[in-house]
Amino acid sequence: MGFYNSPNLRKLTMDLLDFARGPALQVAALIFVAGLIWRLLHLFLTQKKTDISEARQSGSVGGGLRAIFSRFRHHEPFRKRTRNGTILAYTIHIGLAIVVLGSAPHILFIESFSGLGWSPMPNVVIHFAAALTLAALLTSLGRRMSHPVLKMLSNFDDYFTWLVTTLPVATGLMAVAHVGARYELLLAIHILSFNVFLIWFPFGKLMHSFIAIGSRYTTGVTFTRRGAKV
Amino acid sequence: MSKVTEKYPLDTSEQRLTVKDPHPRHDTQGDMDEHERLRRAMANFAKNMNRTTATYMEACVHCGQCAEACHYYVATEDPKYTPIWKLEIFKQAYKRETSPFGFFYRLFGLKRDLSIEQLGEWQELIYDSCTMCGRCSLICPMGIDIATLVGQARHGMFKAGLIPDELHEVAQRAKEEGSPLGATASVFEDRAEWMADEHDTEVYVDEDEADILVAMSSIEIMKYPNAIGATAKVLNALGEKWTFRTEGYEATNFGMMAGNTEWQKAATMKLINAAINCGAKLVVLPECGHAYGALRWQGAAMYGKPLPFKVQHISEFLADVISSGRLKVKKVDQTVTFHDPCQVARRGGATEAPRVVMDALGVNLKEMAPTGDFNWCCGGGGGVVTIHRADKLRYKVFELKMEQVEASGADTVLSTCSNCRQSYNDAKEHFQWDKDMESLLELVADNLVE
């Protein structure tokens, strides 16, 4: 009987898996939602300063909404100098979106609590996207540790956020490839790593997923009022 | 045998042989202990925190792309000039004191308290190496308006008595004498009289009633007084009922640049009261970048309600009267390029106005690359030009401007900001360069169709 087939270990593994997708996930989701609400509420409760200068032009709300989308791409004069960072960022974000929203098990998971389901993407696409995302994440870490500007700016949040983002991708790939341990154990670790991701989300820079919308909108409104470039 | 410290290694690469620049030494004002300085810096930084600035503080992902838009970083490749890094200690203070999880940060000591040494070190980053030109605000993928945050950080630094002495001095002069450069009301009246003779035109001062109130920058009054005559010639050609007012003739706002909101308000209120006193429907601001931002976009906030008159930069005014056919100008056979003042164009939205004027003048405009909203700053805005210890860095970043101008192939640079013009001419002298910067207003005034 091999090590991985020991009945005790199998039971332990199943217990861990049940824990990961049961109470651990519930607690993580609770912290995620509560933290998210508190962080956003804190911003909304902060005093709003109203701009009472005479606007050069109307349509500032439209300008704010446009800014949410236009800042997905740099203005032309900046593109050359920001190319590497932009390519890495897009690879990571698009790769994660494909893996999270395109893979069958993830869709089943989303369907289990939201009731929303859709057709999965082919496995080959998911696996390729996950591998590319992992490569981009590793490259981004190397870049963060070596680029003078990024190295100087980086703090615990940057590295820990990188870790909690990379672990689910790496463990997911390992589980699919059955590399390193039993599938159930790898799956349990994958789900646990996702739980850590959820718990960290409201505390660190992963919140940019929400706050960037407000930040872009605000700047869009301000500079549209002035008739300036957004 | 003597021991030589390696702290400041020799620098034999410059004309003047010395040691490499020592750590930037910072200036202090007022008599208060370190704790009080720290307390004031952070309290006044946090005091003006509102939803917008709090959102900005929370949104940064440390992508570092703002560095690629900053002339200080691009010219030196020194990472400390990364725009968002200039706010690092203020971000830490925000997270520790005001952020949603500040309690945890304090409880577990996750964000260290600031030290007076850090604040001193940051003086160079907040004042000497940021013109608040806002180029970084345009590149930020999160949409953070970094220039606004630097302005807010300056509020904290001022209250802590931690700003460069030169900037403090000129801001204080502006508050007490009405001008940062000694252009007091009586000096202004003398200059106005002189320019009336020089340009053979009427210069109206202290008229009881007028439709248009005009203001000048101290740099123009003291260094480029032809701006007074040029403005008068244009307004007289239009037949406008206009005036300068000695209770509010100076449009610069060094209180704003230094970080003192009370002084900023005092300067702004002089202009507002002058306009109200003469019943002006329009205030035309001079060729000055920050003066435009101070009244056009921040004036109402200082007044506490919407301004009872319109505000235009002189380039907008010229574009309007030329477009409507009220002002006719002669064609000018000149090859020029245009330097966009950051606070009028990128931060102010009046990017097209000078181009309308230049089109009417028929000049051969060779645009710089990049131009318009993306043009490089002259390096002298935000009060930087007043700070002597920042000269070397300012000249270094000016090399970007020189490259732009040379590449354009133009003989002359036009602009609509006297502060840019002053910075430009200072750097021109430093580099023994042959390209002149001229005023667009003066070019118009010299080429009016009678």
A179-215 pLDDT, tens digit each = 888 899 999 999 999 999 999 999 999 999 999 999 9
The answer to whether residue A99 sits within a structural domain is: yes
pLDDT at position B68 is: 98
Q: What is the mean pLDDT of residues B209-216?
A: 98
Distance of alpha carbon A119 from alpha carbon B211, whole angstroms: 68
Tokens representing B20? 């490499």
pTM above 0.95, yes or no: no
Is A199 domain-assigned?
yes
Neighbour count for residue A102 (Cβ, 10 Å): 19
Looking at beta carbons, which residues of chain B come within 8 Å of A74?
65, 139, 141
Both tokens assigned to A63 = 């300008």
Mean pLDDT of B32-59: 88
> Cβ contact (<8 Å) for B142 and A218?
no
pLDDT digits (tens, 9 = 90+) for A119-159: 999 999 999 999 999 999 999 999 999 999 999 999 999 99
A42 within a domain of the structure (yes/no): no
- Specify the number of domains making up chain A: 1
What average pLDDT does this structure show over B247-274? 97
A147 within a domain of the structure (yes/no): yes
A7 within some domain: no
**Is A220 contained in some domain?**
yes
- Record: contact A49-B143, CB cut-off 8 A: no
Strand B18-19 vs strand B10-11: parallel, antiparallel, or unpaired?
A: antiparallel
Put simply, the answer to whether A153 touches B85 (Cβ < 8 Å) is: yes
Where in the sequence is the domain holding A70, given as residue range(s)? 56-225
CATH number at residue A166: 1.20.950
Task: List, as one string, the DSSP characters of A21-53.
Answer: IIIIHHHHHHHHHHHHHHHHHHHHHSPPPP--S
Nearest to B327 by CA among B241, B227, B237: B237
Model confidence at A3: pLDDT above 90? no
- pLDDT at position B296: 98
Helices B88-97, B116-123: crossing angle, 10 deg rounding = 140
Count how many pairs of residues, chain A against chain B, have C-beta atoms within 8 Å.
165
In a domain, A64, yes or no: yes
**CA atoms of A51 and B306, how far apart (whole Å):** 9
Taking the C-alpha atoms of residue B67 and residue B201, their distance in angstroms, rounded to an integer, is 49
**Ranges A1-5, B136-140, B437-441: which has the least confidence:** A1-5
pLDDT at B115: 85
Q: pLDDT digits over A28-69, tens only?
A: 999 999 999 999 999 999 999 999 999 999 999 999 999 999
Rounded CA gap, A175 and A191, in Å?
11
d(CA B88, CA B84): 7
Q: Which residue of B has its CA nearest to A75?
A: B139
Share of chain A above pLDDT 90, in %: 90
Domains of chain B: 34-163 (1.10.1060), 167-321 (no CATH), 328-446 (3.40.50)
ipTM of the complex: 0.94
Torsion of CA B297, B303, B304, B309, to 10 degrees: -70
Q: Residue B312: in which H helix or E strand, if any?
A: strand B310-313
Residue B237 C-alpha, separation from nearest chain A C-alpha, in angstroms: 27
Residue B307: list chain A partners with CB under 8 A. Answer: 53-54
* pLDDT reading at B23 higher than 70: no
* % of chain B beyond a pLDDT of 90: 83
CB contact under 8 Å between A215 and B51, yes or no, is no
Is residue A16 one of the residues assigned to a domain?
Answer: no
Contact B143 A153 (CB under 8 A): no
Q: Are B358 and B393 in contact (CB under 8 A)?
A: no
